Amino acid sequence: MKTELVNIKNLKEFAKNIYDNLGGRNILLLRGNLGSGKTTFVRNFCEILDIENQVSSPSFLILNTYIDNNKKEYHHFDFYRVEDELELDYIGFHDIIENSTDLIFIEWPDKFLNIIKKYNHRTINIYFNFIEDNINVREVQIS
């Protein structure tokens, strides 16, 4: 499925559509160039979940955890700066992914895709691309 997102309202509707079709253990694999909308998508998704935490890119921290009003945890990884699988051990990636029963967001997943696929979670690939004619418009593809 491909769609064009013209503004932030479209992104929120897009996130809501994905949310409405999820259930159980899911990992959203977020791909796209820097600034293409991955973290903004997570921010909008968290608004739908009524998460009050400040949602920001975990580029330097590698992991952000958000908690909703029901005390459910949602984990947001960013592997952009991760160089080695040992760093995943350091941040507790394996424990988090093994014990998660809900939703995990992973930016730049291709670096450790072989590890992610070892776990029994449903993975959803979301690709964010700039539209050449208009830098404010994104093409988003789900597979």
CA distance 40 to 51: 14
Scan for tokens 């984990």, then name that residue. Answer: 75
- Work out the pLDDT band at 132, boundaries 50, 70, 90: low
Q: Which fold has domain 2-142?
A: Rossmann fold (3.40.50)
Task: Check residue 6 and give its pLDDT.
Answer: 59
Is the pLDDT higher at 71 or at 105?
Answer: 105
> Which of 50, 31, 63 is CA-nearest to residue 138?
31
- What is the CB-side half-sphere exposure of residue 141 using CA atoms within 13 A? 7
3-state percent helix, strand, coil for the chain, nearest multiple of 5: 30, 30, 35
Tens digits of per-residue pLDDT, 57-93? 777 778 999 988 888 889 999 999 999 999 999 999 9
pLDDT of residue 52: 76
Sequence spans of domains, the chain: 2-142
Q: Which two tokens stand for residue 16?
A: 């809501």
Looking at the chain, the number of H-run helices and the number of E-run strands are: 5, 7
For the whole model, what pTM was predicted?
A: 0.88
